[in-house]
Structure 1
Amino acid sequence: MTKRNKILLAIALILVAIQLIRPARNNGEAMGPNDISKAYQVPAEVHTVLQQSCYDCHSNKTNYPWYANIQPIGWWLQSHINDGKRHLNFSEYGTYAEKKAKHKFEEIEDAAANGWMPMESYLWMHPETKLTPDQSKAIAQWAGALK
């Protein structure tokens, strides 16, 4: 076996081996007792958009795409989800102190008004989650009224 073939075999074995190391999944309850819709008035139109475009990264329940099963992509994806939940978790919004909740509403308003969310890296594979101008405006107005 040539040196090149040994290297290719080693790489292949490593790629197979890392498939066995899987990150913990975000498979909790999206709409539990602390969900934002239980703590605040959320218009149905806004809540639908939040669920379709935001909850995968900002709730306790992610609908994983097929490619999340391929490592190291799955690790990277789970890292983004964990980071998103650290910044804002709609499933736990009811547990936020009033000051924190108001600040998060300001951030939601800014993100919607400026088109910062969903992230471009998410939109590449999920273009259907891109907010329309009307959806962005509705979210920004709703969040702005609550801040």
Structure 2
Amino acid sequence: MLKNFFILLLLALVISQFLRPDKNESSYDNITVFEEQAAVTPEVQTILESQCYDCHSNVTRYPWYMEVSPVSHWMAYQIEEGKEHFNVSEWESYTENQKDHKLEEFIEEIEKKEMPLKPYTWIHGELSNTDAERLISWAKQRREKPIIPEEDTTNVKEIDSLQVETSNTLTTK
């Protein structure tokens, strides 16, 4: 009886290797938008890249052990959960109030040492006190002085110090 159970378990593990979850792989473009709009400093960017983006963006770096089921399924779930709460790749879609609230939660989670999650730190290491202070300081500054994106001037042409909106139709002045 016990032998049959282990055979079924082994068979389930082998089959699960072929049933992979979708990977969280996208473009870094949306992360760049977040970094520009939130005025991320180079020091903070390094910390975010090493400790946050894997679970809180649409881009994840997958280590070798992520190819093994059931770890791959568990991590896919963790990544989806992280993105649900805060996704820097979706920063542009948040309202100003939502952005402020996300930063408020970001600060709280780091202050309470609830982020990064313990299972993540087992392999990637703890967030140092210095790095935590840098992240908190940066987020508090962003909450005090929200960054307002510059106007999009891609369709504006300056002629004799007058701005004229250009379009696909030909106009003469």
- State if a TM-score over 0.5 links the two structures: yes
- Count of equivalent residues: 143
Could you tell me whether the CA contact under 8 Å between 2:31 and 2:88 is conserved in 1?
Answer: no
Q: Which amino acid aligns with 2:10?
A: A
Question: Is 2:127 the partner of 1:131?
Answer: yes
Cα RMSD after superposing both structures: 1.7
Q: Deviations over 1:68-92 (max 9, x none)?
A: 1111111111000000001001122
Q: Which amino acid aligns with 1:68?
A: M
81-90 vs 33-42, greater mean Cα deviation: 33-42
Number of the residue aligned with 1:60: 58
Q: Residue 15 of structure 1: which of 7, 13, 16 is its match?
A: 13
Q: Secondary structure at the match of 2:133?
A: helix
Q: Residue 138 of structure 2: which of 128, 142, 146 is its match?
A: 142
Cα distance, 1:4 vs. partner?
Answer: 4.0
Cα distance, 1:9 vs. partner?
Answer: 2.3
Q: Normalising to structure 2: TM-score of the pair?
A: 0.76
Q: Which has the higher strand share?
A: 2
Identity %: 33
Q: Secondary structure at the match of 2:30?
A: coil
Q: Which amino acid aligns with 1:32?
A: N
Could you tell me whether the CA contact under 8 Å between 1:29 and 1:91 is conserved in 2?
Answer: no
Number of the residue aligned with 1:72: 70
The 1:6/1:92 distance shift into structure 2, 3 A limit, reads same
Q: Residue 50 of structure 1: which of 48, 51, 67 is its match?
A: 48
Q: Secondary structure at the match of 1:125?
A: helix
CA–CA distance in structure 2, aligned partners of residues 7 and 112 of structure 1: 43
The 1:4/1:136 distance shift into structure 2, 3 A limit, reads closer
Bigger relative CO (Cα 8 Å, ≥ 6 apart) = 1
Number of the residue aligned with 1:92: 90
Which ranges of structure 2 fall in alignment gaps of 5 or more residues?
A: 144-173
Question: Which structure has the greater CA radius of gyration?
Answer: 2
Number of the residue aligned with 1:121: 119
Q: Deviations over 1:16-62 (max 9, x none)?
A: 11111100000112343763112221111111111111001001111
CA–CA distance in structure 1, aligned partners of residues 60 and 102 of structure 2: 21
